[in-house]
Amino acid sequence: MPLSVSSVIALRAQHAAWRAEGQRIGFVPTMGALHEGHLSLVRLLKAKADRVTASIFVNPRQFAAHEDLDAYPRDLAGDFAKLADAGCDLIFTPERAAMYPQGFATSVQVGGVSEGLESSARPHFFGGVATVVAKLLLQTQPHCAAFGEKDYQQLLVVRALARDLDFPVEILAGPTLREADGLAMSSRNAYLSTAQRAIAPHLHGQLQSCAARIRARQAITPALRLAEAALIKAGFDQVDYIALRGPEDLAPLPGPTLDRPARLLAAVKLGATRLIDNIAVEAAA
């Protein structure tokens, strides 16, 4: 079983001991309810670092009042077993009151890449993520940290945060892991009913079809509108966005057709459950 600590003092003591032995530390922040996507990040860091620490903390600051903070899936015993299996060395489970004590009044806001897309539907989200990730990076002070490409905009926000505030950490990206039918792994997939679960893989399917059209030099805007209509036809209740953006800055592309590598990103709702996904779109040679 990995070591487990819940105080920052104990975390720092263990990390200081590893550093004193010259060991490199990798870090995977999570909100628990772990799936293979999270575990692949632990394995990615096992190859880059001598020790891997994972945190489990359901961060209230990235949920709006009407969102699923209380319902967010929690399975601490299961998570510990999975992290042990993946070779994690230390699990950090801070208490909410220790992360955000009475009087906590600081928030970290990243501009640029955090604007639009997810922020249009969840304006509070990246402030909450940047604040907790900044705290976790300062608490753990890892050599490298890994984030999944499934949350692509979040990955770019964390990269911008580390770059702009000079965090001495290498931010690594892990590829999206998918179920056999293409659905991107996500802790929130647990909310889906059987009927919704059958609809959910169409998100990835429509991203792929849309990307194929765009790669074949069809005009970008009509291809996006076609995919949006197809998602509603497939049974999704709402399309928050489907957008083609620059892979580094998430800036809209000039169009009308693809002339550079891009990222196709989408967010949809199935009942109360919000699903996001994205894929790379390379311009054909």
Is residue 30 at the binding interface for ligand PAF, with CB under 6 A as the rule?
yes
Among 91, 110, 113, 132, binds ligand PAF (CB under 6 A): 132
Between 31 and 162, name the residue whose CB sits nearer to ligand PAF: 31
Nearer to ligand PAF, 34 or 203 (CB): 34
The only residue of 29, 37, 94, 142 in contact with ligand PAF, by rule CB under 6 A: 29
Judged by beta carbon, residue 49 or residue 56, the one nearer ligand PAF is 56
CB of 219 to ligand PAF, least distance (A): 34
Binding mask 90-129 for ligand PAF (x = CB under 6 A): ---------------------------------------x
Q: Find the shortest distance in angstroms from Cβ 3 to ligand PAF.
A: 20
Task: Kindly indicate which of the ranges 27-35, 44-52, 170-178, 256-264 contains the residues binding ligand PAF, using the contact rule CB under 6 A.
Answer: 27-35
Asked whether position 54 contacts ligand PAF by CB under 6 A, the answer is no
* Shortest spacing between CB 166 and ligand PAF, in angstroms: 20
Q: Which of 118, 149, 151, 240 binds ligand PAF (CB under 6 A)?
A: 151
Residues marked active site are found at 38
Indicate whether 196 belongs to the interface with ligand PAF (CB under 6 A): no
Distance, in Å, from the CA atom of 248 to the CA atom of 231, rounded to the nearest integer, reads: 26
Binding residues for ligand PAF, total number by CB under 6 A = 10
Backbone dihedral angles phi then psi of residue 79, each to the nearest 5 degrees: -65, -40
Closest distance of CB 30 from ligand PAF, Å: 5
Tell me if 59 contacts ligand PAF by CB under 6 A.
yes
Which DSSP string corresponds to 30-71?
Answer: E-SS--HHHHHHHHHHHTT-SEEEEEE---GGGS-TTSSTTT
Instruction: Output the DSSP codes for the chain.
Output: --EEE-SHHHHHHHHHHHHHTT--EEEEEE-SS--HHHHHHHHHHHTT-SEEEEEE---GGGS-TTSSTTTS---HHHHHHHHHHHT--EEE---HHHHS-TT--------GGGSSTHHHH-TTHHHHHHHHHHHHHHHH--SEEEEEGGGHHHHHHHHHHHHHTT---EEEEEPPPB-TTSPBP-GGGGG--HHHHHHTTHHHHHHHHHHHHHHTT--HHHHHHHHHHHHHHHT-SEEEEEEEE-TTT-PBP--SS--S-EEEEEEEEETTEEEEEEEEEPPP-
Using the contact rule CB under 6 A, the part of the chain among 13-21, 24-32, 76-84, 204-212 near ligand PAF is: 24-32
Is 133 an interacting residue with respect to ligand PAF (CB under 6 A)?
yes
DSSP 253: P
* Residues forming a β-bridge with 270: 273
Out of 11, 25, 31, 185, point to the residue binding ligand PAF (CB under 6 A). 31
Closest distance of CB 129 from ligand PAF, Å: 5
Interface residues toward ligand PAF, by CB under 6 A: 29-31, 59, 62, 129, 132-133, 151, 154
